[in-house]
Amino acid sequence: MPRFVVLEHTGPQGLHWDFMLETQEALTTWAIAEPPDAAPQVAAEALPDHRKAYLDYEGPISDERGSVTRWDRGTYQLQRHDLDEIVVVLAGETLVGEVTLRRSTDDPAQWTFSYVPYV
């Protein structure tokens, strides 16, 4: 089953959370403005793919880009994936529920991250 990780990232651009989904080649990544469980919808920005090493990494990032601390990790099941929407079910240590990522119609790099916990 593919894995996911959420890293709390402190750095020159300020505090944000990196939400990463494992694919065959790399980690598809978004920068989330708030903790993933902070609000029903959170602004997210698509980032370039990251190396799979970040699934297990905590510490400083090269070129003085800050440092990362693991906030959550686990596995996910892909429910739907197209160009403008991705839906996954997370089984993490903190996040257990459904995440929907929707691309903005105004800016393709901007997304909305929605988390609905399973109770």
* pLDDT tens profile 3-23: 999 999 998 889 999 999 999
The reported pLDDT for the residue numbered 95 is: 97
Residue 46: Cβ-neighbour burial (10 angstroms; 0-12, 13-18, 19+): middle
Q: Please report the DSSP string for 47-108 in residue order.
A: EEEE-GGGGT--EE-TTT--EEEEEEEEEEEEEEE-SSEEEEEEEESS-EEEEEEEE-SS-T
Q: How many domains does the chain have?
A: 1
Q: pLDDT category, 26, cuts 50, 70, 90?
A: very high
Give 40-59 pLDDT, tens digit per residue: 999 999 999 999 999 999 99
By percentage, how much of the chain surpasses pLDDT 70?
Answer: 100
Domain range spanning residue 53? 3-117
Global pTM reads: 0.95
